[in-house]
Amino acid sequence: MFQHFKKHQKRRQKYSILRLFHSGDFLLPALALLLSTGAAAQTFTQQTSTDNPFHFFVNPFEGVDIGDDASPAFVDIDNDGDLDAFCGEYNDNIHFFQNTGTNISPNFVEVVGPNNPLNSANGKGGYRYTVSFVDIDGDGDQDAFVGNDGNADISYYKNFGNANFPFFVQQIGANNPFDGETYTEPFPAFVDIDNDGDQDVFVGAYNGEMKYYLNTGNSMNPVFTRQPAAASPLNGVGSAYFETKPAFVDLDNDGDQDAIICTFGSILYYLNTGTPANAVFTEQLLGNNPFYYPQMERALVPAFADTDNDGDLDLMVGDKDGHIIFYKNTGNVAASNFLRYRADVNANSSPAFVDIDGDGDQDMFCGNYNSPNGPYGYIYYFENTGTNASPAYLPRYGTDNPLEGQEFIGRSYPSFVDIDNDGDMDAFIGDNTGTFFYYKNTGNAANPVFVEQMGAANPLDGFDVSADSSPAFADMDNDGDFDLFSGNLFGTFLYYKNTGTAANPVFVQQMGAANPLDGVDIGIASKIALADLDNDSDLDAMLGNVDGFFFYYKNTGTNAAPVFTEQLGADNPLDGVQIELLAAPAFVDVDNDNDPDFFTGGLSGNLFYFKNTTLLPVELAGFNATKKQGEAMLYWQTASEKNNEGFEIQYSINGKNWRRIGFVNGSGDYFGTKDYEYIHQNPQPGINYYRLKQLDFNGHFEYSKTVSLYFY
* All domains of the chain in start order, with CATH: 71-340 (2.115.10.20), 347-612 (2.115.10.20), 618-711 (2.60.40.10)
Rounded-to-integer distance, Cα 406 and Cα 378, Å: 6
Residues contacting 595, CB < 8 A, separation 6+: 34, 42, 589, 612, 614
Q: What is the pLDDT of residue 23?
A: 36
Asked if 285 contacts 274 with a C-beta cutoff of 8 angstroms, the reply is no
H helix and E strand count, the chain:
0, 49
Q: What is the pLDDT of residue 702?
A: 82
- C-alpha triplet 101, 102, 106: angle, nearest 5°: 60
Residue 222: how many CB atoms within 10 A of its CB? 21
Residue 14: pLDDT above 60?
no
Among the listed residues 415, 394, 399, 412, the one whose alpha carbon sits nearest the alpha carbon of residue 448? 399
How many C-alpha atoms does 249 have within 13 Å on its Cβ side?
18
Q: What is the pLDDT of residue 558?
A: 94
Residue 225: how many CB atoms within 10 A of its CB? 12
User: In the predicted model, what is the mean pLDDT of residues 365-375?
Assistant: 77
Q: What is the pLDDT of residue 4?
A: 32
Residue 294: pLDDT above 90?
no
Asked if 429 contacts 436 with a C-beta cutoff of 8 angstroms, the reply is yes
pTM of the model: 0.80
Cα separations (Å) of 574 from 21, 82, 540, 548? 20, 43, 13, 11
CB-based burial, 325-334: b 16+ in 10 Å, e otherwise: bbbbbbeeee
Asked if 425 contacts 448 with a C-beta cutoff of 8 angstroms, the reply is yes
Residue 9: pLDDT above 50?
no
DSSP H/E element including 485: strand 483-487
Residue 32: pLDDT above 50?
no
Among the listed residues 599, 491, 603, the one whose alpha carbon sits nearest the alpha carbon of residue 548? 603
Residue 602: pLDDT above 80?
yes
Q: What is the pLDDT of residue 193?
A: 96
Rounded-to-integer distance, Cα 59 and Cα 53, Å: 14
- C-alpha triplet 91, 96, 100: angle, nearest 5°: 155
Lowest mean pLDDT among 206-220, 361-375, 524-538: 361-375
**pLDDT (tens digit per residue) in 189-203:** 999 999 999 999 999
Residue 25: pLDDT above 60?
no
Give 435 or 640, the one with higher predicted confidence.
Answer: 435
Q: What is the pLDDT of residue 365?
A: 98
Q: What is the pLDDT of residue 594?
A: 75
Residues contacting 345, CB < 8 A, separation 6+: 295, 366, 367, 368, 378, 380, 601, 605
**pLDDT (tens digit per residue) in 608-650:** 999 998 866 788 889 999 999 999 999 999 988 888 999 999 9
3-state SS class at 45:
strand
Cα separations (Å) of 454 from 410, 436, 587? 20, 10, 29
Q: In the structure, what pLDDT confidence band is assigned to residue 41 with cuts at 50, 70 and 90?
A: low
How many C-alpha atoms does 568 have within 13 Å on its Cβ side?
0
| DSSP letters for 620-678 | EEEEEEEEETTEEEEEEEEEEEEEEEEEEEEEESSSSS-EEEEEEEEEEEEEEEEEEEE
Asked if 596 contacts 587 with a C-beta cutoff of 8 angstroms, the reply is yes
Q: In the structure, what pLDDT confidence band is assigned to residue 374 with cuts at 50, 70 and 90?
A: low
Single-letter residue type at 665? N
Q: What is the pLDDT of residue 34?
A: 31
Asked if 636 contacts 622 with a C-beta cutoff of 8 angstroms, the reply is yes
Q: Distance between alpha carbon 305 and the CA centroid of its chain, in Å? A: 25
Residues contacting 510, CB < 8 A, separation 6+: 495, 496, 497
User: In the predicted model, what is the mean pLDDT of residues 210-233?
Assistant: 94
**pLDDT (tens digit per residue) in 302-323:** 999 999 999 999 999 999 889 9
Highest-confidence range of 277-291, 395-409, 421-435, by mean pLDDT? 421-435
Rounded-to-integer distance, Cα 164 and Cα 367, Å: 49
Residue 158: how many CB atoms within 10 A of its CB? 18
Q: What is the pLDDT of residue 18?
A: 26
**pLDDT (tens digit per residue) in 519-558:** 999 999 999 999 999 878 899 999 999 999 999 999 999 9
Rounded-to-integer distance, Cα 52 and Cα 46, Å: 9
Residue 79: how many CB atoms within 10 A of its CB? 14
First to last CA, the chain: 35
Rounded-to-integer distance, Cα 480 and Cα 15, Å: 4
DSSP annotation of 155 reads: E
Residue 6: pLDDT above 70?
no
Q: Distance between alpha carbon 289 and the CA centroid of its chain, in Å? A: 20
Mean pLDDT (the chain, rounded): 89
Calculated CA dihedral for residues 517, 518, 524, 527, nearest 10 degrees: 20
Q: What is the pLDDT of residue 216?
A: 96
Among the listed residues 500, 487, 501, the one whose alpha carbon sits nearest the alpha carbon of residue 551? 487
| DSSP letters for 267-295 | EEEEEE-S-SSS--EEEE-GGG-TT--SS
Q: What is the pLDDT of residue 5?
A: 29
**pLDDT (tens digit per residue) in 559-578:** 999 999 999 999 999 999 99
Lowest mean pLDDT among 330-344, 579-593, 679-693: 330-344
Residue 26: pLDDT above 80?
no
Q: What is the pLDDT of residue 132?
A: 97
Rounded-to-integer distance, Cα 221 and Cα 215, Å: 9
**pLDDT (tens digit per residue) in 375-410:** 788 999 999 999 989 999 999 988 999 999 899 999
Rounded CA Rg of the chain = 30
Residue 93: how many CB atoms within 10 A of its CB? 20
**pLDDT (tens digit per residue) in 505-516:** 999 999 999 999
